[in-house]
């Protein structure tokens, strides 16, 4: 029986499933692995189930050139915390859990769109403060989402699920920025230039994968191109946004507001960002439902089982 190291506590059903087929060592700690922990894990275990924040970079593999571990079965669709090329060079395969996160993450995007446009977080803070003086005709006027224009950067599974909700749920015009045109069952227009796309949008959503190619994709030039009333939503990866540029855009009222579920230096959130009433801040809730996290875990276990049988894992990246 192969020895499996699980780097964070997972739903009980997932842990039980893992123990049926593997000799499991479960780390009872929710913080990311240290560099020392990662090196130890690569040397001591046959397979590892890591997740976001466990930074298996090139240096880690360079320090363990002949690891015992032969598979990193990542818990999550995003795997930019793993240097896949360095892993493969060391003889370590990498898998992920696509599909399971799609609907839950798209739902959080819509949640943030509504909260930001309708000033919901600001309103809740007002009620909790005890300073709400009652309804009046000009109280906390926000932006109506129906029939507005949404611009989505990244039209993978999650981007398409967001677009579908915007089109059918709010009757929004859908624009998207993507490497290739995507066939969809509703009207959506591909725009090749990101700045041109955001310039005509009421809501801009970041749904691109993380990594060097998309780091700081949303920078000062993109925010300056947006309309003053427009809202920016990020449910992808924190590093796709130049956080300093976003803060400046919000402080200077270059854009109307923002809704964020991820942060550039997560879990650190700048004080300047938290001080702004025009930004809604969530603690990375994108996939935070028991059903979704269980499904993600079971997909990771399926990848591990296939690998243990000598088969190609279904979600090899």
Do both 16 and 60 map to the same domain?
Answer: yes
Domain count, the chain: 2
Looking at the fold, whether 110 and 220 belong to one and the same domain comes out as yes
110 and 90 in a common domain: no
Q: Is residue 315 part of a domain?
A: no
275 located within any domain: yes
Q: How confident is the model at residue 100 (pLDDT cuts 50, 70, 90)?
A: confident
Q: What is the pLDDT of residue 5?
A: 98
In a domain? residue 313: no
Kindly state the average pLDDT of the residues 7-14: 97
User: Containing domain of residue 189, as a range?
Assistant: 102-281
Residue 181 shares a structural domain with residue 270: yes
First to last CA, the chain: 25
Percent of the chain with pLDDT over 90: 97
The residue behind tokens 């929710």 is 30
Q: Is position 54 within any domain? A: yes
**What is the per-residue pLDDT across 190-216, written as a single tens digit (0 to 9) for each?**
999 999 999 999 999 999 998 899 999
Same domain, 29 and 157: no
Average pLDDT, the chain: 97
Whether 91 and 106 share a structural domain: no
Co-location of 95 and 106 in the same domain = no
- Kindly state the average pLDDT of the residues 31-37: 96
* CATH classification of the domain holding 53: 3.40.50.720
The per-residue pLDDT for 263 is 97
Indicate whether 118 and 263 sit together in one domain. Answer: yes
Assigned domain for 269 exists: yes
Under a CB-based contact definition with an 8 Å cutoff, are residues 274 and 281 in contact? yes
> Do 82 and 147 reside in the same domain of the chain?
no
> Is the predicted pLDDT of residue 33 greater than 90, yes or no?
yes
The pLDDT of 106-120, averaged and rounded, is 98
Question: Is 317 a member of any domain?
Answer: no
Based on the fold, state whether residues 29 and 160 are members of the same structural domain.
Answer: no
User: What residues are annotated to the active site?
Assistant: 237, 266, 284
Q: Please give the average per-residue pLDDT across 215-232, as a whole number.
A: 98
pLDDT value of position 308? 96
Tell me how far apart the alpha carbons of residues 302 and 311 are, in angstroms, rounded to a whole number.
11
Statement to judge: residues 121 and 268 lie in one domain: yes
Q: Please tell me the predicted confidence (pLDDT) of residue 78.
A: 87
In a domain? residue 228: yes
Question: pLDDT tens, 227-245?
Answer: 999 999 999 999 999 999 9
Percent of the chain with pLDDT over 70: 100
pLDDT tier, 51 (very low <50, low <70, confident <90, very high otherwise): very high
pLDDT of 108: 98
The pTM of this model reads 0.91
pLDDT per residue as tens digits for the range 290-303: 999 999 999 999 99
**pLDDT tens by residue, 121-179:** 999 999 999 999 999 999 999 999 999 999 999 999 999 999 999 999 999 999 999 99
For residue 185, give Cα distances in angstroms to 6, 116, 128, 182.
40, 28, 43, 10
* Domain-located, residue 316: no
Average pLDDT over residues 78-97: 96
Task: State residue 288's pLDDT score.
Answer: 94
> Looking at the structure, do residues 126 and 67 belong to the same domain, yes or no?
no
Are the C-beta atoms of 72 and 93 separated by less than 8 Å?
Answer: yes
């Amino acid at each position: 029986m192969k020895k499996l190291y699980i780097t964070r506590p997972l739903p009980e059903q997932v842990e039980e499933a893992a123990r049926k087929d593997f000799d499991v060592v479960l780390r009872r700690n929710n913080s990311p692995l240290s560099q020392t922990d990662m090196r130890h894990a690569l040397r001591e275990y046959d397979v590892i189930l890591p997740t976001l924040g466990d930074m298996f970079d090139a240096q880690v593999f360079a320090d363990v050139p002949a690891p015992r571990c032969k598979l990193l079965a990542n818990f999550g669709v995003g795997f930019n915390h793993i240097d896949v090329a360095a892993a493969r060079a060391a003889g370590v395969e990498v898998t992920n859990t696509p599909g399971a996160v799609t609907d839950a993450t798209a739902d959080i995007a819509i949640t943030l769109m509504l909260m930001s446009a309708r000033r919901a977080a600001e309103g809740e803070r007002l009620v909790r403060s005890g300073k709400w003086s009652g309804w009046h005709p000009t109280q906390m006027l926000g932006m109506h989402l129906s029939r507005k224009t949404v611009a989505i950067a990244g039209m993978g599974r999650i981007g398409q699920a967001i677009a579908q909700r915007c089109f059918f749920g709010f009757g929004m015009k859908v624009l998207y920025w993507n490497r290739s045109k995507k066939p969809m069952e509703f009207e959506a227009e591909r725009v090749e230039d990101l700045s041109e796309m955001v310039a005509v949008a009421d809501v801009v959503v970041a749904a691109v994968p993380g990594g060097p190619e998309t780091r700081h994709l949303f920078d000062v030039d993109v925010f300056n191109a947006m309309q003053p009333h427009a809202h920016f939503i990020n449910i992808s990866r924190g590093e796709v946004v130049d956080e300093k540029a976003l803060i400046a855009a919000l402080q200077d009222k270059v854009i109307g507001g923002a809704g964020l579920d991820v942060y550039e230096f997560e879990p650190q959130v700048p004080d300047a960002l938290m001080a702004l009433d025009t930004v809604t801040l969530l603690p990375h809730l994108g996939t935070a439902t028991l059903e979704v996290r269980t499904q993600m875990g079971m997909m990771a276990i399926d990848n591990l089982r296939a690998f243990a049988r000598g088969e190609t894992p279904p979600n090899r990246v």
